[in-house]
Amino acid sequence: MLAHAFKPLVIKGRSLLPVIQGGMGVGVSAHRLAGAVAKEGAVGTVASVDLRHHHPDLVERSKHTKDTAILDALNCEALDREIHLARDIANGQGMIAVNVMKAVDCHVKLVQQACESGADAIVMGAGLPFDLPEVTADYPNTALIPILSDVRGIAVVLKKWMKKGRKPDAIVIEHPAHAGGHLGATRLDDIHNEKFDFERVLPDTLALFDELGIPRDAIPLIVAGGINSHEKVCRYLGMGAAGVQLGTAFAVTEEGDAHPNFKAVLAGAQQEQIVEFMSVAGLPARAVLTPWLKNYLNRETRLQGNAKADPARCTQGMNCLSVCGLRDGLAKVGQFCIDLKLAAAMRGEVSKGLFFRGADSLPFGDAIRPVRELLDYLLTGQKPAGLTA
How far is CA 221 from each of CA 34, 194, 293, 376, rounded to the nearest angstrom?
A: 21, 19, 34, 21
Residue 280, pLDDT above cutoff 70: yes
Interval 166-214: pLDDT, tens: 999 999 999 999 999 988 888 888 999 999 999 999 999 999 999 999 9
pLDDT band at 64 (very low <50, low <70, confident <90, very high): confident
**Using 50, 70 and 90 to split pLDDT, how confident is the model at 152?**
very high
- Predicted confidence band at 335 (pLDDT cuts at 50, 70, 90)? confident
| Percentage of the chain exceeding pLDDT 90 | 74
Lowest mean pLDDT: which of 1-10, 289-298, 333-342? 1-10
CA 21 to CA 44: how far, in whole Å?
Answer: 5
CA distance 371 to 258: 14
Instruction: For residue 149, give the amino acid letter.
Output: S
According to the model, what pLDDT value does residue 319 have?
65
At 102, the pLDDT band (50, 70, 90 cuts) reads: confident
Share of the chain above pLDDT 70, in %: 97
Q: Is the pLDDT of residue 388 over 70?
A: no
With cut-offs at 50, 70 and 90, classify the pLDDT of residue 1: low
The per-residue pLDDT for 110 is 95
Average pLDDT over residues 247-273: 96
Whether the pLDDT of residue 318 is over 70: the answer is no
Q: What is the pLDDT of residue 186?
A: 83
Domain with CATH 3.20.20.70 in the chain: 9-258+361-380
Q: What is the pLDDT of residue 165?
A: 92
From CA 164, how far away is CA 128, in angstroms rounded?
15
pLDDT for 381 beyond 60: yes
Lowest mean pLDDT among 56-65, 152-161, 231-240: 56-65
Quote the pTM value. Answer: 0.93
Q: Please state the rounded mean pLDDT for residues 232-257.
A: 97
Q: What is the pLDDT of residue 3?
A: 67
- Burial class of residue 384 in the structure, from the number of CB atoms within 10 Å of its CB (0-12 exposed, 13-18 middle, 19+ buried): middle
Across all residues in the chain, what is the average pLDDT?
A: 92
Provide the residue type at 122 as one letter: I
Greater confidence (280 vs 137) lies with 137
pLDDT at residue number 331: 85
Long-range contact set of residues 274-278: C-beta below 8 Å, sequence gap at least 24:
274/357, 274/358, 274/359, 276/183, 276/188, 276/191, 277/188, 277/334, 278/188, 278/325, 278/332, 278/333, 278/334
CATH of 9-258+361-380, one of 3.20.20.70, 1.20.1250.20, 3.90.420.10, 3.40.50.1100: 3.20.20.70
Look at residue 317 and tell me whether its pLDDT is greater than 60.
no
Distance CA 239, CA 202 (A): 7
pLDDT of res. 150: 94
CA dist., res. 377 & res. 389, Å (int): 12
Which is higher by pLDDT, 334 or 296? 296
Q: What is the mean pLDDT of residues 255-268?
A: 97
Q: Say what the alpha-carbon torsion angle 330, 295, 71, 26 is, to the nearest 10 degrees.
A: -110
Mean pLDDT on 7-34: 96
